[in-house]
Amino acid sequence: MSAPSPLSPAEARALVKAALSAASFEDVSLRVTARRTAYLRFAAGAPTTSGEASRFEVSVTAAKDGQVATVSGTGGDAASLQALVREAEALAKLAPKDPEHEPPLGPQQYAKVAARDAKTAEVGPEGRTEVVARVLKVAREAKLVASGIVEHEDGVTVLANRTGLFALHAGTEASLTTTMRTPDGKGSGWAGGSSHRLADLDASALARRAADKAAMSSQGAETLAPGAYTVVLEAQAVADLLGFLVSALQARAADEGRSFFSRPGGNAIGEALFDPRVTLRSDPTDPRWPSIPFAGDGLPLPTTTWIDRGMLKALAYSRFWARKQGKPALPAPRSIFLGPADPAEGKDLLELVRGVERGVLVTRFFYNRMLDPRQILATGLTRDGTFLIEQGKIARPVKNMRYNESPAALLKHLVAIGKPERTAGDGMVAVVPPLVAKEFHFASVSDAV
């Protein structure tokens, strides 16, 4: 028997009806999330901690005459929900006016998204143990020490209001990440992946990738001088940087002169800013990598091309900013697909390496922080496998380095592009390729492994 959803459509509608029956304001909205999560963590070559949890969270926003208040709680019974509605209305009467509050949306049409995998929803302790066992088997055979986590979630998100809006999304999500270390601690390798189907994650293949990196990186890391290098960034490293660019796809920041996409009197929509091989889009209905089809305010999330063959085609407009600028509202993306304009052009990682005379291969970045939003300039450190490339081959490991670079510059200085893959993310579906780029700036050397 398949696992029941944390919140069925019928249950969701009943909760919404019960909650909104207590409302006296016309503008009252609810956001409900019901989730079942589970994980198995491993370290020092063995399972360490395991857990399962069910969570129910609801937030209620009430508004009248521009005064807005939001309250939240965890009670799922009618009395608790109605109490939240009354509390939100009472607090709204005390709140200052919000000049950017928009009136409630009416009913909307949403794309049908098949994001819930029944088999992932059914996974229990035995299934998680089997995944971890495959990772640990690879580690033992390679005489490495493995750590990491496998986790999965079965969740439902509901939005509703008094003017007829009702949106429901059910989806599963699974991820596996592992770090392999040599016993002397000098070598480190990492691999990870995410999918709405746990079965998509090949634990043995991911473990072998991490093990290979750990073995290679233990062989006396060389110190490279800071400077500009040609780099081969694996897909995870690309995703780590690309998040800064995706966050910058905001029309308001651009129009107000606070963004890389700002221009005198407006923004850069229509400008060719990146290499013409680059296309960036979002699509919640993608059958391989589906995502939620609506934004936090209830607007549908359409399939959108943000960058088309190097040209900026769209920026996100909130409902407030769209009304002020006389533009249609367009929510920010919840999924990102970066790939070559011609899908046949994508190469695998080793092909990319073979095309580099001298450069640096980066597995991933961590401790990433924004330095300058006007340039989308970020900083962070390489981690878990950084190597020197010479004459098209991975020659030897190098010490980790701090980068100071912009994803905008990365996409402008593109040399070659690989085949997209789903990366390990923190909530957003990110399907991106490994890339080769020139003039990537490393600022200093780090002694950390």
Tens digit of pLDDT per residue, the chain (449 long)?
578 999 999 999 999 999 999 999 999 999 999 999 999 999 999 999 999 999 999 999 999 999 999 999 999 999 999 999 999 999 999 999 999 999 999 999 999 999 999 999 999 999 999 999 999 999 999 999 999 999 999 999 999 999 999 999 999 999 999 999 999 998 999 999 999 999 999 999 999 999 999 999 878 899 999 999 999 999 999 999 999 999 999 999 999 999 999 999 999 999 999 999 999 999 999 999 999 999 999 999 999 999 999 999 999 999 999 999 999 999 999 999 999 877 777 899 999 999 999 999 999 999 999 999 999 999 999 999 999 999 999 999 999 999 999 999 999 999 999 999 999 877 789 999 999 999 999 999 998 87
Q: How far is CA 162 from CA 28, 63, 435, in A?
A: 6, 12, 48
Residue among 314, 253, 319 at smallest CA distance from 279: 314
Burial (Cβ within 10 Å: 0-12, 13-18, ≥19) of residue 392 = middle
- Helix, coil or strand: residue 226: coil
The answer to whether 62 and 69 are in contact (CB under 8 A) is: yes
Cα 434 vs. chain centroid, distance in angstroms? 16
Residue among 194, 321, 307 at smallest CA distance from 245: 307
Question: 313 CB contacts (<8 Å, ≥6 apart)?
Answer: 269, 270, 305, 306, 307
What proportions of the chain, in percent to the nearest 5, are helix, strand and coil?
Answer: 25, 40, 35
Distance, in Å, from the CA atom of 445 to the CA atom of 442, rounded to the nearest integer, reads 8
Q: How far is CA 108 from CA 62, 167, 435, in A?
A: 20, 8, 39
- Helix, coil or strand: residue 116: coil
- Please name each of the domains of the chain with its CATH number: 9-215 (3.30.2290.10), 220-449 (no CATH)
Residue among 246, 168, 204, 167 at smallest CA distance from 427: 246
Cα 211 vs. chain centroid, distance in angstroms? 25
- What's the pTM value of the predicted model, to 2 decimals? 0.95
Q: What is the pLDDT of residue 1?
A: 57
Q: What is the pLDDT of residue 3?
A: 87
Q: What are 344's two structure tokens?
A: 């046949």
The answer to whether 284 and 291 are in contact (CB under 8 A) is: yes
